[in-house]
């Protein structure tokens, strides 16, 4: 607890010392360093979170498909098509985040 508190104060101190410099830059142009930094951070982090969520869902779907094929090998053909459609729908959600990341990356 003490170690966490110490590093927290250190982080706050860094931010407090850095603020005046960034505030000057921000006062000049349309936003400055914080603006572009936060946009870049949003693009990368948003895509990473989306990929994480999609991977969870797709892994679960594939695992259940594998188990049902193992239980009934003759059903492999009938399971394959709905599995692929489901995987593509989950992939699409991650791809929406990719498109937003492209938009954001264009603004950096």
Partner 1 sequence: MGHEPFTWLRGLGSAEHVATSALVVGVILAFAAYVRPRLASAEAAATPESRLTARSVAEAFVEAMTGLVESVIGEHAERYVPLLGSFFIFILLANLIGLIPGFTPPTADFNITFGLGAVSFLAYNVYGAREHGVKYLKHFLGPIALLAPLMLVVDVFSNLFRPVSLGIRLFANMFADHQVVEIFTSLTKFGVPVVFYVLGAFVAVVQAFVFTMLSAIYLALAVSHAEH
Residues forming contacts to partner 1 in the complex (CB under 8 A) are 81, 84-85, 88, 91-92, 95-96, 98-99
Shortest gap between Cβ of 85 and partner 1 (angstroms)? 5
Q: How many CB atoms lie within 10 A of CB 45?
A: 11
| Distance of closest approach, residue 88 Cβ to partner 1, in angstroms | 4
Q: Decide whether 35 or 91 has the Cβ nearer to partner 1.
A: 91
- H helix count then E strand count, the chain: 3, 0
Q: Whole-number minimum distance, CB 23 to partner 1, in Å?
A: 34
Decide whether 6 or 82 has the Cβ nearer to partner 1: 82
Beta strand spans in 18-103 (E): none
Question: Smaller CB distance to partner 1: residue 42 or 95?
Answer: 95
Can you read off the two tokens belonging to residue 76? 């492999």
Place of tokens 């929406």: 96
The residues near 71 (Cβ < 8 Å, ≥ 6 apart) are: none
Cβ closer to partner 1: 21 or 92? 92
């Amino acid at each position: 607890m003490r170690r966490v508190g110490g590093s927290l104060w250190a982080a706050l101190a860094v931010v407090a010392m850095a603020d005046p410099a960034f505030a000057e830059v921000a006062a000049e142009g349309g936003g400055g360093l914080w603006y572009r930094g936060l946009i870049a951070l949003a693009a990368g982090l948003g895509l990473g979170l989306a990929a994480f969520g999609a991977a969870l869902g797709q892994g679960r779907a594939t695992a259940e498909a594998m188990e049902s094929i193992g239980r009934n090998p003759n059903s492999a053909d009938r399971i394959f098509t709905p599995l692929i459609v489901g995987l593509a729908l989950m992939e699409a959600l991650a791809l929406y985040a990719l498109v937003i990341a492209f938009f954001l990356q264009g603004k950096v």
